[in-house]
Amino acid sequence: MTSPELLRFCLTVQYDGSPFHGWQRQKADRTVQGELEAVLLELTRARRPVVGSGRTDTGVHALGQVASVEVPERWSAAQLRSAMNARLPAEIWVSEVRRAAPGFHPRYDAITRSYEYRLGTDREAASPFCQRWCWNTSEDSPDPRLLAEAAQMIKGERSFRSFAKAGQPTRGERCRVMESAWSPWSTGAGPGLRFLITADRYLHHMVRYLVGTMVEVARGRRPLQDMRDLLEHPGGSLVTSPPAPPEGLFLRRVEYPPERIGDHPDRAPQQDGDQWGSARTQTVEWSR
């Protein structure tokens, strides 16, 4: 019997990373990739590897993770999204499905990735309905002015070796940061702050080390000059502050050239903001 023709689809996936041991499939632990592949096995009666735009660590969330998968041609984008969402656990939601261009690769075709880090600065951040999705800093709230000054130093192209976990891959330490800024954010129960960063690539734990160090500066526990020195003199004797906890970090958006993506997507209708801060209205963005 002839095997059915396979079509490649691009998925935009949102997830609450709290119950998962990260994105990447593991033998013994529950992961986002593992859950997606289990549902696709049920739907198509065959193993369908899901390729993501990048890995997220244990406890890290996503508003716009991008992944690709090949399924038999009888599936339309709308059918695939509906069937997957009917079977996925409540913590994972496929917000968009579209046909991908031949050879599309979510990781290697990406132009930029954007992350968001959320701080809860009000006592309401200690609520169990908030603390899974932000870093509760209400006991010692950072100075927004110092956070803003530190964030401006990050923009540009340089080595971020100082802000990375040891043992980086051999493809280099340089990253080009196009956006780095703090802005007000609401937990839904009280005020907070969020850090937005967009770059062409990241080192391991880079965003969390940046946030952890900026918060220590903004709490007055180390001078602002430390931030500048860590950026301008990577690999020196000065070390960063501990990384910010994973629960405040979200993969927000991945951007691609338009020619790498196929037809118009099947997309969920926009909904009003919720505890995630309009999480279900965030989708992958395409370069224009």
The CATH number covering residue 118 comes to 3.30.70.660
With respect to residue 126, please indicate whether it lies within any of the assigned structural domains.
Answer: yes
What integer is the mean pLDDT of 184-210?
92
With respect to residue 287, please indicate whether it lies within any of the assigned structural domains.
Answer: no
Amino acid at residue number 219: R
Instruction: Give the burial string for 156-168 (b: 16+ CB within 10 Å, else e).
Output: eebbbbbbbeeee
Cβ–Cβ < 8 Å for 188, 128: no
What integer is the mean pLDDT of 260-271?
64
Nearest to 80 by CA among 95, 67, 63, 97: 97
The fraction of the chain above a pLDDT of 70, given in percent, is 87
Q: Are residues 138 and 87 in the same domain?
A: no
What is the reported pLDDT for 262?
65
Cβ–Cβ < 8 Å for 261, 98: yes
Of 43-57, 95-109, 111-125, 259-273, the least confident: 259-273
What integer is the mean pLDDT of 220-249?
95
pLDDT tops 60 at residue 275: no
Q: Which of 29, 57, 140, 200 is catalytic?
A: 57
pLDDT tops 80 at residue 270: no
Q: Are residues 133 and 173 in the same domain?
A: yes
Query: Which residues are within 8 A (CB) of 128 and not within 5 positions of it... i.e. 6 or more apart?
Result: none
Q: How confident is the model at residue 281 (pLDDT cuts 50, 70, 90)?
A: very low
What is the reported pLDDT for 34?
97
pLDDT tops 60 at residue 271: no
With respect to residue 283, please indicate whether it lies within any of the assigned structural domains.
Answer: no
What integer is the mean pLDDT of 117-125?
91
Q: How confident is the model at residue 279 (pLDDT cuts 50, 70, 90)?
A: very low
Residue 57 annotated in active site? yes
Q: How confident is the model at residue 286 (pLDDT cuts 50, 70, 90)?
A: very low
Per-residue pLDDT of 38-73, as tens digits, reads 999 999 999 999 999 999 999 999 999 999 999 999
With respect to residue 281, please indicate whether it lies within any of the assigned structural domains.
Answer: no
Q: Are residues 47 and 167 in the same domain?
A: no
Helix (H) or strand (E) holding 80: helix 77-87
Q: How many domains does the chain have?
A: 2
- Average pLDDT taken over every residue of the chain: 89
With respect to residue 157, please indicate whether it lies within any of the assigned structural domains.
Answer: yes
